[in-house]
Amino acid sequence: MIKTVKADGKAEYEYFKKVRERSTETDRDVTAVVTDIIDNVRKNGDKAVREYTVKFDGKAPECFEVSREEIEKSVSGCDSEFIGVLERAAANIKDFHARQLQQSWLTTKDNGVIMGQRVRGLARVGLYVPGGTAAYPSSVLMNAIPAKIAGVGELIMVTPPMKDGRPNPNIMAAAYVAGVDRVFLMGGAQAVAALAYGTESVPKVDKIVGPGNIFVATAKKLVYGTVDIDMIAGPSEILVLADDSANPKFLAADLMSQAEHDRLASAILVTTSQRIAEETVGELERQIETLSRKDIIDESLTNYGAIIICDDMDKAVETANSLAPEHLEVCCENPMEYVGKLDNAGSVFLGNYSPEPLGDYFAGPNHVLPTSGTARFFSPLSVDSFIKKSSFIYYTESALRADKEDIERFAKTEGLTAHANSISVRF
């Protein structure tokens, strides 16, 4: 079960090192396999995708693309109450992300110069959605809705077929609610390659987003440059910051909510209270017995979980910022006072009644977040992830004449006389 660490400026950082190293390098064997898959799909298109689909998923559909009629049929077969949940979650996600939308702008100067920036959605984006035991309709909403708000021209979703070769109805329902344009039944590295290079049936995209296993993540990494990608996501992680006012029952439940994702997931409690630490351990031992993914949770907490006891909240905040967790809960008496102090986190959950699953499914902010300490410099998926910007400049002859000598001197200083000539030749 979970270990307890007394923060002394060394012990906690030794633990952090172990957490960071759990997913730092992709296995070379995986890279070799994925490289072969990408090369095969790039060369042989649908034929290669079909062979891999049969090999890895058991059965390939007669037609990769799911028709609009089949999508609607899948939706009609879903639980109507779940459809309602999807629609309410989608409304919250739309409301939050609509506020992120940027506008093109233009400015003029007295000398006749006009400059500005054009903002527009990408032409075509590919969304990877896992299947099998990791089929998460919430990921469809979180990826597709910001893309549609950004003005993406066409959103293409790929997802593995079930063992019978048919689509997962809950995934189809989420795609329908989120406004996905086209759906193809294929998964794994071969689906990423199909999106990146195009096949006879799958159009080439400009960017690929969405979660996946190590083969999918490796494929996205390898095709980056040919297309853009969202991020290379590591195992899930949560850090819970708690003072003596926190409820150990809540703390234990929230730690396990992330530990159940993956045996490599990391769940950490940082607290100033020895009592809270001890009672949380007791709650973990009690609550885990009732949970379906008990074995995964236990292994995750044993290998990568920790309760870190700090002398004061300043040290606790410093510890949280150092780890830069994907999810950061603040279970303290006055949680709002820490908002301006917590600089490194994918998403922050404030107070005892803002647990991490609230963000996973329903509140509105995106649940696609930077992991493995990358919250120091990466941001959550957003509308910005699906736009591109270009600037434009218009100078009059007199305006260019006024700046002529400065530009020429700059160019000549850099040894680029053709640049200088491009200016001087006009006068």
User: Which residue numbers are catalytic?
Assistant: 326-327
Question: Measured at the alpha carbon of residue 93, what is the angle toward residues 92 and 98, in degrees to the nearest 5?
Answer: 105
Determine how many CB atoms are found less than 10 A away from the CB of residue 27: 10
From start to end of 272-424, where are the E strands?
306-309, 327-331, 347-350, 387-394
User: What does the radius of gyration of the chain's CA atoms come to, in whole angstroms?
Assistant: 25
Do residues 172 and 83 make contact, with C-beta atoms less than 8 angstroms apart?
no
End-to-end CA distance of the chain: 78
Determine how many CB atoms are found less than 10 A away from the CB of residue 289: 7
Do residues 144 and 175 make contact, with C-beta atoms less than 8 angstroms apart?
yes
Cα-based torsion angle of the residue sequence 62, 66, 70, 71 in order, rounded to the nearest 10 degrees: 150
Do residues 5 and 308 make contact, with C-beta atoms less than 8 angstroms apart?
yes
* Euclidean distance between CA atoms 81 and 97, whole angstroms: 24
* Distance, C-alpha 211 to centroid of its chain: 7
Do residues 347 and 354 make contact, with C-beta atoms less than 8 angstroms apart?
no
